[in-house]
Amino acid sequence: MAERHSTASSSSDRQNIWVAVLVTIIVNGLVTFLIFADGINKDIGFDLTILPMMNAIFNSFTTVFLLMALFFILRKNIKMHRRFIYAAFSSTSLFLVTYLTYHSLAESTSYGGSGFLAGVYYFILITHIILAAVIVPLAILSFLRGIKYQVEKHRKIARWTMPLWLYVSITGVLVYLMISPYY
């Protein structure tokens, strides 16, 4: 009986990993393509510059939701932890939609600052981009293991996922605040 459960659990985790890998390839592939491709830069009758602000708002919501999820899991309130994780995934998904929409339609915006602030901006931006790519599979795997009650496996990866996801959501807001004067 224990062997069957172990095999089923192992099979389920392999499936989780494949889902995480597939979604990561799709999301990171789309983002990479859009970063290197110029947007169509066509007047669509809508001010696209509102989308980066919406991205920052969604990232802010994600930060708050993750902090609340952390607060509740530290108090062993799994029900509320799950609700806030669902909310964090929802706001991150909305961010992704507005991010992809903006970068598919608009030309890239360059940071116009110089000196020390430019160094700070590019450090934040580069670490944000790298960790945003890394967080995709970690967040998906943590989420899938959590909803399937693979508690030990979930805890093991969530220890890395939570701080990295928080960093990405916070630095996303900082990047917006620093580049927003140049839109």
Q: What is the CATH number of the domain that holds 124?
A: 1.20.120.80
Residue 8 pLDDT:
53
CA distance 6 to 4: 5
Crossing angle (nearest 10°) for helices 2-36 and 115-147: 150
Residue 24 lies in a domain: no
Q: Which residues contact 135 (CB under 8 A, 6 or more apart)?
A: 161, 164, 165, 168
Residue 178 lies in a domain: yes
Residue 32 lies in a domain: no
* Triad 114, 48, 175: Cα angle to 5°: 35
Residue 140 lies in a domain: yes
Domain encompassing residue 142: 49-182
Summarised one tens digit per residue, pLDDT across range 84-140 is 999 999 999 999 999 988 888 888 889 999 999 999 999 999 999 999 999 999 999
**Secondary structure of 118-142 as H, E, C letters:** HHHHHHHHHHHHHHHHHHHHHHHHH
This prediction has a pTM of 0.84
63: closest CA among 142, 179, 173, 180? Answer: 173
* Residue with the larger pLDDT of the pair 13 and 15: 15
Residue 7 lies in a domain: no
Residue 40 pLDDT:
61
Residue 9 pLDDT:
64
Residue 98 lies in a domain: yes
Residue 71 pLDDT:
99
Number of domains in the chain: 1
Residue 162 lies in a domain: yes
Summarised one tens digit per residue, pLDDT across range 44-92 is 778 888 999 999 999 999 999 999 999 999 999 999 999 999 999 999 9
* Rg, C-alpha atoms of the chain: 18
Residue 70 lies in a domain: yes
CB 72 within 8 A of CB 82: no
Q: Which residues contact 127 (CB under 8 A, 6 or more apart)?
A: 167, 171
5 pLDDT higher than 50: no
The maximal CA–CA distance of the chain, rounded, in angstroms, is 65
- Average pLDDT for 1-26: 70
